[in-house]
Chain A
Amino acid sequence: MRKKNKNIKININQRSFIFEDYFETSRKNKNEKYLSISQDRIYLLFFLFFSLILIFSIKITLVSLKEPFGIKEFNYKDQNLILRRDITDRNGTLVSRNINSFHAAINPSLIKNKQKFLINLRLNFPNLPFKKIEKKLSQGKYFYLIKRLRQDEKEKLWSLGEKGIIFEPFQSRVYPHANLFSHILGQVDYDNYGISGVEKYFDKELKDKKKLNQPLKLSLETNIQHIIDEELNKALITFKATGGAALLMDVSNGEILSMVSLPNFDINKRQNISDTKYINKITKGVYELGSVFKTFTIALALDKKLVTPETIIKNIPEQLKCSKYKITDIKKNPKELSVEDILIRSSNIGTVLLAQKIGEKDYKNFLNQSNLLKKSKLELEEVGIPLNFKWEKCKLETISFGHGITVTPLQATAVYAALSNGGNIVIPTIIKKNENFEGKNLISTKTSKEINKILRKVVTEEEGTASLADIYGYSVGGKTGTSEGYGRKSENLNTFISIFPSQNPKYALLVMLENPKVATNLIYNYKGMQIRGTRNEAGWNSVYTAGKIIKKIGPILAINNEEFLEHVAKKSN
């Protein structure tokens, strides 16, 4: 009380005084105190309820963000299955995808009436080994009934309504186009690890969990691949060839739009293939490609400014003797030929004379620069290595027209792409790349233009060897090659490497046929005449096939077709 009195301030100017009602003051103070406590309690209450609401809000946010327990978690995470990314072609068409599949396993301890189960099983699956199943059932151990179930088999097993049947999920790789990309895609093993082709080369990238939703985009085009595959299959029948291959490459960046090797196989069916005829002939097979090499010799001679396309080579002998080899031409040629005529007529002797002018050193440099002597850097496991050889006497001469040197068709096509695109070396690829590729110069732009003109003449000139590929509107140019199998003289290999449209080449197409025969029943439309097949050189089979292919794929590739401009565009305007 004293303390309180001390706090009372006395106003000395005050004329009157009052008696303070201590009881009332005390009551007021008490009330204020209670009010304060009540307020605190209300705040606390509000805080509590606010916290509760906050908890619910957080919960609902978490629920909406969390991936629920469902199919994905069950299959992918709990089962620790290896997932693989999709593989698509350049337009996004699926060429390889993982799907959920099932094995049917049996847990005997969950089967109440084993006899009834066996009867039901026998009725639905009469071909199963029932003695073994009966034995395993009696042993009471968990075992697999059917591995890799088909959908109809799974439904039949479901309909049995047996608890003891366990459906074990696993990831299965499916290739919707079956045979079409068999040499490129390769296969995966039972554990989903790539064992060949793209599946093996990109195994790590395809299993990258961070990129699971992004497909691996190849540079291939499904429709073009089918057309080429179809035409090549027809050619194999028409010319009774034992095998064939074709490759379509974008000459500006080396992207491969189609790669076909026949015979092929269904990659959805698991089988051991040991026969070498099933190899990827484009990337793995190494061959003596013959006269297609003459283009390289002519290009080098032009690039070194030793000759021009019009330079006349005089006194060309009918036969050349080099060490133990006799070099002749298949048909008799004039004694004087221009450089371009040497390529148009495919003269071996003319090419040898040019190679001798070039010299061994420069020719070696050219082969090294053009990557013809080493393994190609393609994104596939199955890439062949050219056979080693020594630069002994006459090697330059034989190499100049494509003998005594082996390369893969892929390498030869890549060099044709480089020669025709303005001289830039391209690195072949099967992956779709958006950036433009700028490689080193193999030859000058001027030489490239000259070579394109000469290659066009091989198709258009009367003496040319590739008239059957002169498809109106596509300005096809190219060079044929007819050769014997390397070390196997009974076998022959007919090749045609074309570029189109030759005034500004966009694509290089290689067509190769193994051991083709004369197609006596085939009627060729040869320079406006209808003639029957009597000959067996590349000009009569590989060139014919290439022409058929270009006619079909040309519109898809949207090349500015002269015929279209002349007959459709002008009229529609």
Chain B
Amino acid sequence: MPKTKLIITIIIFSILLSITSIIKTQTRIVEKKIITLQNKLINLEKDLHETQLDFDYLTSPVNLSNRINQIALIDYEPLDFSKIYLKLSDFIETKEKLTFKKENEKKK
């Protein structure tokens, strides 16, 4: 009996020892992974920080205006809402009205 118990104890001890060893190794691996990911995260945050600044600089209205001027010398003017036609028929109708008005004015 004592021998059997001793054997059981040794087996349990060995199992626990190996489990602990595995856990320790895994802990170390997970720890390394966490540190690597955290470093990656910091780098990404840094990149985002700089990229956001670059984006805001490159898309600043002053910069965009300069770029447009480099591409073409067009002075963009706001378009009157009255000159926006959603359908071709609307456009034709307005033009007909204008022509009619002008003709009437001429007759007068």
Binding site for B on A (CB under 8 A): 31, 34-35, 38, 41-42, 45-46, 49, 52-53, 56, 59-60, 63-64, 67-68, 70-72, 93-94, 97, 99, 174, 176-180, 222-223, 226-227, 230, 472-473, 551-552, 555, 561, 563-564, 566-568, 571-572
Contact = CB atoms under 8 A, between A and B. Distances in A.
A223 B61 contact: yes
A49 B49 CA distance: 46
A112 B89 CA distance: 84
Interface string B29-67: 011001100110011001001101100110011100100
Given A56-B23, A60-B30, A564-B81, A42 B35 contact: no
A552 B78 contact: yes
Contact of B31 (A63, A70, A93, A99): A63
Contact of A71 (B27, B31, B42): B42
Given A63-B35, A70-B42, A176-B60, A561 B81 contact: yes
B71 interface: no
B86 A551 contact: no
Given A59-B31, A567-B82, A571-B87, 17 more contacts: A34-B5, A42-B9, A45-B9, A45-B13, A45-B16, A49-B19, A53-B23, A59-B27, A60-B30, A60-B31, A68-B35, A71-B43, A71-B46, A93-B56, A174-B53, A180-B60, A568-B86
A94 B12 contact: no
The 10 A-B residue pairs with the shortest CB-CB distance, nearest first, are A226-B61, A176-B57, A94-B56, A49-B16, A563-B81, A56-B27, A564-B81, A567-B82, A68-B38, A70-B42
A45 B13 CA distance: 7
B53 A42 contact: no
A63 B53 contact: no
Contacts of B20: 49, 52-53
Given A63-B35, A567-B81, A176 B9 contact: no
B90 interface: yes
A226 B62 contact: yes
A174 B54 CA distance: 11
B84 interface: yes
B103 interface: no
A571 B1 contact: no
Interface string B69-108: 0000000001011101011001000000000000000000
Contacts of B82: 472, 563, 566-567
Nearest to B40: A70
A224 B87 CA distance: 31
21 contacts: A34-B5, A38-B9, A41-B9, A49-B16, A49-B19, A52-B23, A52-B24, A56-B27, A63-B30, A63-B34, A68-B42, A70-B38, A70-B42, A94-B53, A174-B53, A226-B65, A230-B65, A561-B81, A567-B84, A568-B84, A571-B87
B56 A568 contact: no
A534 to B, nearest CB: 25
Given A72-B42, A176-B53, A176-B60, A563 B80 contact: yes
A99 B53 contact: yes
**Secondary structure at chain A's binding surface: helix, strand, loop or mixed?**
helix
A45 B1 contact: no
A472 B27 contact: no
A568 B80 CA distance: 11
A90 B53 CA distance: 17
B69 to A, nearest CB: 11
Contacts of A52: 20, 23-24
Contact of B62 (A35, A178, A561): A178
A42 B62 contact: no
Contacts of B81: 473, 561, 563-564, 566-568
Contact of A555 (B19, B61, B78): B78
Contacts of A472: 80, 82
B65 to A, nearest CB: 7
A222 B61 contact: yes
A227 B82 CA distance: 22
Interface in B1-20: 1-2, 5, 9, 12-13, 16-17, 19-20
Contacts of B61: 180, 222-223, 226-227
A230 B2 CA distance: 97
B16 A99 contact: no
B47 to A, nearest CB: 11
A35, A56, A71 — which one has the most chain B CB atoms within 10 A of its CB? Answer: A56
A64 B19 CA distance: 22
A176 B62 CA distance: 10
Contacts of A72: 42
A67 B2 CA distance: 52
Nearest to B59: A93
Nearest to B21: A52
Nearest to B15: A49
Contacts of A563: 80-82
A342 to B, nearest CB: 34
A59 B30 CA distance: 11
B60 A222 contact: yes
A77 to B, nearest CB: 13
